[in-house]
Structure formats: structure tokens, C-alpha cells
A = this chain, B = another copy of it.
Amino acid sequence: MLELRHLKTLLALYESGSLVAAAERLHVTQSALSHQIKDLEDKISASLFVRKSRPLRLTTAGYKLLHLAQDVVPQVKAVERELGRLATGETGRLHIAIECHSCYQWLMPTLNQYRQHWPDVELDLASGFNFAPLPALCRADLDLVVTADPEPLDGISYIPLFRYESLLALPKEHSLTKKRFIEPQDLASETLIIYPVEQGRLDIFKQFLDLAGVEPKAIRTSELTLMMIQLIASGRGVCALPNWALTEYLEKAYITAKPLGKDGVWSTLYLAVRDDQLNAPYMQDFILTAKDTCVETLQGITLLK
């Protein structure tokens, strides 16, 4: 019944002091306004302003509406502007999930830098083990997924960030440290520590053990990389981790690490993005920032050969 149009009219009427002026302001004819006001007055069965008076005076009803308009119209305009910026990609939402659980090294600097450039983009970072981020990305529950397993999905693009090698982390004095590289059957007598996800999603199974049909002696899980390192250092298992996630601990000589197989197990880390957001400026800039940060963060690390 009551519409924003009416409130805008009240504002224009009050601020300009006459129908003619208000009509000009609103880019309609004076007749249109006259009709509009008459209709509104009929609907609320009260007049809105005293006609025989210049500048025009509002009635009680008119003032009530004016006050409402003064409250509401600016709010609405603000949201309209925000929607405009949303549509042109000047701002947006960036709900991120990481499938790779040692990404904080380069993701945190990325987010910090990005936040400065895009203070209005709604940033959120989720990392859980028990949900599939890619379907959530399709459903628009998420906007960006960091993953090493790109599944071909409709409307999803994958942007490669960098290649990395999965290394087997071992206690310093372990017998396998004598070998130049690890062979699948070496693990048949070891306890393998993994993140609590299905084995099919782990490089060490997909690209190494499964190919040789070997299973480790035992499997235990841990959610935290630091915890894994401690378990390894105390001889309670071994673990495959990305080279860059190990650098810190290798340099401090807490543990050692060896390639998996003669050529090593290599993967690529991707950013998965929905196509409808791919070209938005705020998304493109995130991708660039992430790539830059990866290069910076990773260039100094020890890459075992």
C-alpha cells in the first residue's frame, strides 16, 4: 500500500516547498505528483499537507510520513549503492575453505594483505575436515576453495597456484633415512599418520601406495600439522606432507624427509572459483594476491632434491 515512492515524494515536497518544485526534483510532471498525493490521501483517508499555504505545510499525517521518510529513504539509498558496487564487483563476499590443511603459511599473509585493499569484501575462512567444499562452492555456500583435487564440475574453474612435492617425514634416526627415496613397500611396516579425511583424497594413497597395492602397517589420524611432527619426532609414525609445510621443521632438524618414489609425488594446489564470480575485480585481485604471496613465501624454502 504505502511505497517508497510516496516517502520520496514527501521528502521532495518538504524540502522543496511546493508541488511544482518537488515534481521537477523527482523528474515527473506536477500532475503526476498531484495524482499520487491524492491517491495516497484517499488511501490513508487524511490529507498530507495544507494547500492554502506557501511554503506548503504538512499536516500531522504528513509529518509522520515525512519522519518515516527521513529515516528510511537514506537507508534504502545506502543499500542501493552497496548493491550497485556488489553488481560491478567492487565489493563482494569471499567465503573460503581450505582442503589442504597446511595452507596457513601463505594464506594468512594473503588474507592480511587482501583485507587492506578490499575492506568491504566480506571475508570468511572455514576449514573443517568433514564436509566436501566443492559441492558447497557450487551451491554458493562458499566462494573459493583451496584444493589439490580439482574435480571437473559445471561452473567451476580451477586456478593453479603452485606445484609442490609430498615428502615422507621421518624421525631423524629412522632406518629409511639411509635411502635416497622411499618405495611403497617401505611403508608396509610403518604407522602412517594422516589428516582425518578419506584416504582416496590423499596424494600418498592415490599416487603412491594404491598404485603399488601396499597398505601401511597402521594408520592414525591427527588434525594438526604440529602434532603430526611431534608424533614423528618421537618415533610413533611417519607422515606425508607438502615440502613447504615441512621446511620449518627440517631446518630446525626436528625430523628428516625423503621423496616418495624415484621421481617424487608431485601435486598442484588450485584455487577453485565459481565462474560467475571469476571475473569480478575483487576475486581477480584475490587470485593475484594469493599467487604473489605464494611465490614470496615459498621461494625461500628448502626444496629437497
Flag if B75 contacts A139 (CB, 8 Å): no
Flag if A75 contacts B71 (CB, 8 Å): yes
- Looking at chain A's contact residues, the main secondary structure is helix
Question: Contact flags (1/0) for A35-49 with B, using CB distance below 8 Å?
Answer: 000000000111000
Of chain B, the residue at the smallest CB distance from A77 is B2
Contacts of A71 in B (CB 8 A): 75
Q: Which of B45, B53, B65 contacts A139 (CB 8 A)?
A: B53
Contacts of A72 in B (CB 8 A): 72, 75-76
Q: How far is the CA of A46 from the CA of B60 in the complex (A)?
A: 40
Q: Which of B50, B65, B76 contacts A83 (CB 8 A)?
A: B65
Contacts of A87 in B (CB 8 A): 44-46, 61
Q: Which of B3, B5, B86 contacts A61 (CB 8 A)?
A: B86
| Whole-angstrom distance between the Cβ of A275 and the nearest chain B Cβ | 13
| Whole-angstrom distance between the Cβ of A232 and the nearest chain B Cβ | 42
Q: Given A139-B52, A140-B50, is A68 in contact with B60 using a C-beta cutoff of 8 Å? A: no
Q: How far is the CA of A76 from the CA of B80 in the complex (A)?
A: 18
Question: Contact flags (1/0) for A1-27 with B, using CB distance below 8 Å?
Answer: 111110000000000000000000000
Q: Given A3-B3, A83-B44, is A140 in contact with B59 using a C-beta cutoff of 8 Å? A: yes
Contacts of A92 in B (CB 8 A): 60
| Whole-angstrom distance between the Cβ of A215 and the nearest chain B Cβ | 39
Flag if A2 contacts B4 (CB, 8 Å): yes
Contacts of A65 in B (CB 8 A): 79, 83
Of chain B, the residue at the smallest CB distance from A6 is B4
Flag if A50 contacts B139 (CB, 8 Å): yes
Of chain B, the residue at the smallest CB distance from A95 is B60
Flag if B46 contacts A86 (CB, 8 Å): yes
A115 at the interface (CB under 8 A from B): no
A291 at the interface (CB under 8 A from B): no
Q: Which of B61, B76, B141 contacts A68 (CB 8 A)?
A: B76
